[in-house]
Amino acid sequence: MNVVFCSSEISPFAKTGGLGDVGLALPKSLAKAGCVVKVFMPLYKNIVPEENYKYFGVNRRGNLEIFFIKNSSYFKRKFIYGTKTKDYPDNLERFSFFSRRVLEILKQINFIPDIIHNNDWHSSLVSVYFKILYKSDKFFQNTKLLLTIHNLAYQGLFSKDKFFCLGIPNKYFSLRYLKFYDQINVLKGGIVFSDMVNTVSLSYAKQIKSSEHGCGLNKVLKSKSTGIRGILNAVDYDIWNPKTDKLIYRKYSIDTLKNKTFNKVRLQKELGLKINKNSFLLVMVSRLAEQKGLDLLNEVLDFILQKHQVVILGTGNVKYHRSLAKIQEKFKNSFSVQLKFDEKLAHKIYAAGDCFLMPSRFEPCGLSQLISYKYATVPIVYHTGGLIDTVKDISQGGGGVVFKKYTHTCFLSAVKRAERVFNRKDKWNSILKKISRYDFSWDKTAQEYINVYKKLGKKK
């Protein structure tokens, strides 16, 4: 089966969140399962392809090839989507160029796809251009389109005055197609023009069809004749595995969990925290945004730090940068906030933590809770989206701590409950051994996608 996978992020070349991890792991697993996979992403600054051509570069990995689409004026910039304070004003032009070039390059290299698999709004225009500009092209006559929504909150909204930049007839700026409250909505176009739409967990697939979680697109999603499928994301254990992880202080496994304490002490030392192997260390690696529960965390952080230690790694909204930096000044021995993207430090934090904080207001799937399981770090989560599907409370035989009301008091109660179990070492160690055995590898998930591809291929 010939598969084209389009994404604005592919780790390790570009990553701001879970999309980057999926952008590498899923195509790699598809190729392992026998698919011939061509991956497309923009050629951002500092990416050096193995083979350079005039308009695109290529990296080859067996059945997997990664194509980097060139345009220095659009993509050779310091950041992927915008500066620290605002999006780039020409993002519509940037990603419409990317989307059109995908289809042009496929014809140039004579690769006929059975499936074009697009991801989020940044490549949604591939579906739009395919159905409008290539609908009669015999080259693509048997090609089907799948769109995966990783986060419905990001839709690619632009002024209607920019519609001419898309290069398609004005009739498509209508409520039936790309119009959304008098704006262009690129993700809406991807939903309308794709043959099938899926998202990254079963619960989120249900939630986004509701007015509460549908971000204004719930009626469009409910109107899809093929329905909205939920396929749970997974973890690349070639990268995230403490038994083989070269980035952590000392490797460990289910049989050598005492080495996890060594990682805790070394992280405390590196970040200037009080060194205490018995401290209750809560960690967080996240985009610093309201969605991720930062408002809840700010409400209770002072109280937590009077007794426990907290380490946070991430970047995001400037107001959270300021509030967290201010708290760090007050609790230098117990709190470290690292306002940056640092892959190596992220691995160290997962390995060192006792609990992983994930109080997300909504969460399409979440990868952090799945990674934390592998590193024997117990997740503390709000009962929403993919967290419903992947985290069961320890009181019910699961491996996490779950709170079901989105309030700071319920969040703090969950932290206290986790601490009580942490202090019962025999029970805590049995939980760590259990969650270390959980398997959220990509092989099963990749096969689910292949089954969807086959079902799409049968549709006329």
CATH number of the domain that residue 397 is part of? 3.40.50.2000
245 domain-assigned: no
Give yes or no: residues 174 and 80 share one domain: yes
Give yes or no: residues 197 and 215 share one domain: yes
Q: Which domain holds residue 322?
A: 258-436
277 domain-assigned: yes
Query: What pLDDT sits at residue 460?
Result: 62
Give yes or no: residues 190 and 42 share one domain: yes
Give yes or no: residues 454 and 362 share one domain: no
The residue behind tokens 């310091």 is 78
At residue 365, φ and ψ (nearest 5 deg) are -140, -60
Question: Is residue 228 classed as helix, strand or coil in its secondary structure?
Answer: strand
pLDDT tens, the chain, 460 aa long: 999 999 999 999 999 888 999 999 999 999 999 999 999 999 999 999 999 988 899 999 888 999 999 999 999 999 999 987 899 999 999 999 999 999 999 999 999 999 999 999 999 999 999 999 999 999 999 999 999 999 999 999 999 999 999 999 999 999 999 999 999 999 999 999 999 999 999 999 999 999 999 999 999 999 998 889 999 999 999 999 999 999 999 999 999 999 999 999 999 999 999 999 999 999 999 999 999 999 999 999 999 999 999 999 999 999 999 999 999 999 999 999 999 989 999 999 999 999 999 999 999 999 999 999 999 999 999 999 999 999 999 999 999 999 999 999 999 999 999 999 999 999 999 999 999 999 999 999 999 999 999 999 887 6
86 domain-assigned: yes
What are the beta bridge partners of residue 281?
A: 309
Compute the C-alpha angle 284/287/292, nearest 5°: 75
Query: In terms of pTM, does the model score above 0.75?
Result: yes
Give yes or no: residues 420 and 450 share one domain: no
31 domain-assigned: yes
What are the distances in angstroms from CA 341 to CA 7, 288, 346?
20, 11, 8
240 domain-assigned: no
Query: What pLDDT sits at residue 344?
Result: 97
Residue 120 CA neighbour count, 13 Å, CB half: 22
**Residue 197 · residue 147 · CB < 8 Å:** yes
Give yes or no: residues 117 and 168 share one domain: yes
250 domain-assigned: no
What is the domain count for the chain? 2
Give yes or no: residues 225 and 323 share one domain: no
Give yes or no: residues 391 and 448 share one domain: no
252 domain-assigned: no
Give yes or no: residues 74 and 222 share one domain: yes
Give yes or no: residues 75 and 194 share one domain: yes
Residue 313 belongs to what H/E stretch?
strand 309-313
Query: What pLDDT sits at residue 167?
Result: 97
Sign (positive or negative) of CA dihedral 315, 316, 317, 320: negative
Q: At what angle do helices 91-108 and 124-133 cross, to 10 degrees?
A: 60
Give yes or no: residues 225 and 351 share one domain: no
75 domain-assigned: yes
Query: What pLDDT sits at residue 17?
Result: 83
